[in-house]
Amino acid sequence: MLHLADISISFGKKQIIDALSFHLATGDIGCLLGPSGCGKTTLLRAIAGFIPLQSGTINIQGECVSSQQVHVDVTERKVGVVFQDFALFPHLSVAQNITFGLHELNAADQHARLMTLLALTQLTDLAEQYPHQLSGGQQQRVAIARALAPKPEILLLDEPFSALDPALRESLALDIKHILKHEGVTALLITHDQTEAFTIADKIAVMCAGQIEQYASAYDLYHEPQTYFVANFVGEGRFIDGNVQVSPNHTPLMHTALGSFEVSEKPALSDYEKQVRLLVRPDDFVDDDASPHQVTVIGRAFRGAHILYTLLVPSSREEVLCLLPSHHDYQVGTVIGIRLELEHVIYF
Amino acid sequence: MAITLIDRWFVIALSICALLAVPILSILFSYSDVSLVLWAHLIDTNLGLYVANSLILAVGVGLGSALLGVSLAWCVTQYQFVGSRFFQWALLLPLAMPAYIMAYTYTGMFDGWGLFDSRTLFGAIVFMSLVLYPYVFMLAKTAFLEQQQQYKDVAASLGITQFAYFMRVALPIARPAVLTGVALAMMEALADYGTVAYFGISTFTTGIFRTWFGMGETQLASQLAGCLALFVLAVLLIEKHSRRNMRFYQSQPATADSSNHSSTLPLASRQHAIIFLYCSVVLFIAFVVPVTQLAIWASESFTAIAFNDYITLLLNSFGVALASSVLIVVVALLLSYTQRFARQPIVQYFTQFASLGYVIPGTVLAIGVMQPLGWLDATINNIWYGVFGEYLGLIFSGTFVALLFAYTVRFLSVALHNTQTGLERIKPNVDDAVLTLGRPRIALVRYIHLPLIKKSIFAAAILVFVDVLKELPATLILRPFNFNTLAVKAFEFASDERLIDAALPSITIVIIGIIPVILLTRAINK
> Can you tell me the mean pLDDT for B109-128?
85
Bridge partners of residue A82, in order along the sequence? A157
Tell which wins on pLDDT, B464 or B301. B464
Which is it for strands A203-208 and A238-246: parallel, antiparallel or unpaired? unpaired
**Amino acid letter for position A261:** F
Contacts of residue B448 in chain A, CB cutoff 8 Å?
89, 91
Q: Summarize the confidence of residues B312-322 as an average pLDDT.
A: 92
State pLDDT tens for residues A193-232: 888 899 889 999 999 988 899 999 999 999 889 999 999 8
Please state, in angstroms and as integers, the Cα–Cα distance from residue B72 to each residue in B88, B134, B137, B280, B388, following that order: 9, 9, 7, 10, 66
User: DSSP secondary structure string, B200-219?
Assistant: T---HHHHHHIIIIIS--HH
Query: Does residue A321 lie within any of the structural domains?
Result: yes
Q: Same structural domain for residues A259 and A188?
A: no
Q: Mean of the pLDDT values across residues A39-57?
A: 91
Cβ-defined contact of B438 to A73 (cutoff 8 Å): no
**B424 to chain A, minimum CA–CA distance in Å?**
13
pLDDT band with cut points at 50, 70 and 90 for residue B122: very high
B427 touches chain A (CB under 8 A): yes
Number of domains in chain B: 2
pLDDT band at B2 (very low <50, low <70, confident <90, very high): very low
pLDDT at position B82 is: 85
Clarify whether residues A49 and A96 are in a common domain: yes
User: CB distance A74–B435 less than 8 Å?
Assistant: yes
- The pLDDT-based confidence of A107 (bands split at 50, 70, 90) is very high
Is residue B187 within 8 Å of B232, Cβ to Cβ?
yes
Range of the domain at A316: 238-340
A345 belongs to a structural domain: no
ipTM: 0.81
Check the CA dihedral B390-B396-B399-B401 and report its sign.
positive
Looking at the structure, do residues A182 and A77 belong to the same domain, yes or no? Answer: yes
Model confidence at B341, in pLDDT bands (50, 70, 90)?
confident
Q: Kindly state whether residues B256 and B371 are assigned to the same domain.
A: no
- Tell me the nearest-neighbour CA distance from A154 into chain B, angstroms: 11
- Number of helices (H), then strands (E), belonging to chain A: the values are 8, 19
From B269, B294, B319, the end of a domain falls on B294
Examine the domain organization and report whether A255 and A295 are in the same domain. Answer: yes
Residue A103 domain flag: yes
Instruction: Return the DSSP state at A330.
Output: P
Nearest to B437 among A85, A91, A101 (CB): A101
Q: How would residue A344 be classed by pLDDT, with cut points 50, 70 and 90?
A: confident
Shared-domain flag, residues B272 and B354: no
pLDDT, averaged across chain B: 85
Q: Does B314 touch chain A (CB under 8 A)?
A: no
Q: Which domain holds residue B418?
A: 302-484
Structure confidence by residue, pLDDT tens digits, B213-258: 888 888 888 888 888 888 888 888 888 887 776 654 444 444 444 4
Tell me, yes or no, whether B332 and B428 share the same domain: yes
Do A258 and A148 share a structural domain?
A: no
The whole-model pTM stands at 0.81
Amino acid B254: pLDDT:
42
Domain boundary among the residues B229, B260, B294 is at B294
Count of domains observed in chain A: 2
**Is A178 a member of any domain?**
yes
CB contact B270 to A (< 8 Å): no
Confidence band for B262, pLDDT divided at 50, 70 and 90? very low
Domain co-membership, A49 together with A191: yes
pLDDT at residue B195 is higher than 70: yes
Shortest Cα distance, chain A CAs vs residue B23, angstroms? 36
Whether residue B78 has pLDDT greater than 80 = yes
Q: Indicate if A50 and A23 belong to the same structural domain.
A: yes
Least confident of A179-183, A265-269, B151-155: A265-269
Residue that terminates a domain, selected from A211, A233, A255: A233
Q: Do both B98 and B189 map to the same domain?
A: yes
B443 vs A contacts (CB less than 8 Å): 103
Residues A15 and A137 in one domain: yes
Domain harbouring B203, CATH code: 1.10.3720.10
Same domain, A128 and A60: yes
Q: What is the CATH number of the domain that holds A80?
A: 3.40.50.300
Mean pLDDT of chain A: 89
Q: Which residue of B has its CA nearest to A150?
A: B437
Q: Are residues A181 and A44 in the same domain?
A: yes
Query: Where a domain ends, among B294, B324, B355?
Result: B294
> Does one domain contain both B30 and B167?
yes
Q: A125 CB near a chain B CB, below 8 Å?
A: no
Counting residues of chain A whose pLDDT is more than 90, the rounded percentage is: 49
* A346 inside domain: no
Q: Is B396 helix (H, G, I), strand (E, B) or coil?
A: coil
A340 three-state secondary structure? strand
Contact call for residues A214 and A206 (beta carbons, < 8 A): yes
* Range with top average pLDDT, A246-255, B146-155, B442-451: B442-451
pLDDT value of position B255: 42
B437–A147 C-beta distance less than 8 A: yes
Q: State yes or no: pLDDT of B6 exceeds 70.
A: no
Identity of the residue in A73, A85, A149 whose CB atom sits nearest the CB atom of B429:
A85
pLDDT of residue B1 exceeding 50: no
Measured in degrees and rounded to the nearest 5, phi and psi for residue A202 equal -80, -40
Are A38 and A185 part of one and the same domain?
Answer: yes
pLDDT of B5 over the 70 cut: no
